[in-house]
Chain A
């Protein structure tokens, strides 16, 4: 798991998972969209506490390796100011077969969203801004 402040190079990240035993690579890209909760969003700013984000992210990847029959997994998350359409997070999972790769990929991104110390601030067209609460966190507690 890495947190970076520059554009995610997805092709390079995918190459890290190359394995002759792999028959599948499942990848997830989280993009910055131009709307949320009825607001027109212009930009997103991610604040990340890197030491715990990376250690907890590594822990989530290890959990996925234990729970699913996969070969490897990797995740990169952005920090700083992002524009609409930018890739904010990438998760890749290699496995012998696609079902395990898809399932592990979903497990990793779901946990990345709720467990890592990452916050996003949206900047709206009307000049306002606001921190986004994790809806799933609120629903689960």
Chain B
């Protein structure tokens, strides 16, 4: 069964995707697989290890499971300070 996931893009990823956010239907189970799918779709070339991800406003690990209705935040490499 396909899940409905809201994906929000930030900084470099927002510019590459050309959108702030989108709702996608997907069958993948982990955020790592979702990231691969979105990398292909929007040509996001940053290595996964340099990026971070959050599910429903909580930072998550790449093996975290995504569920129908989740909001996934996709963070390109950070550079605070």
Query: B-contacting residues of A (Cβ < 8 Å)?
Result: 30, 47, 49, 51-53, 56, 77, 88-89, 109, 112-121, 131-134, 137-138, 141
Query: When the two chains form their complex, are residues A119 and B49 in contact, meaning their CB atoms are under 8 A apart?
Result: no
CA distance A51 to B75 in the complex (A): 13
Chain A residue at smallest Cβ distance from B12: A131
The number of chain B residues touching the other chain, given as a range, is: 20 to 34
Query: When the two chains form their complex, are residues B76 and A119 in contact, meaning their CB atoms are under 8 A apart?
Result: yes
- Using A120-B80, A133-B50, A137-B77 as known contacts, list a sample of 14 further A-B pairs with CB atoms less than 8 Å apart, ordered by residue number in A: A30-B81, A47-B10, A49-B73, A49-B75, A88-B81, A109-B81, A113-B78, A114-B78, A117-B52, A117-B54, A117-B75, A119-B11, A133-B79, A134-B80
Interface of B is mostly: mixed
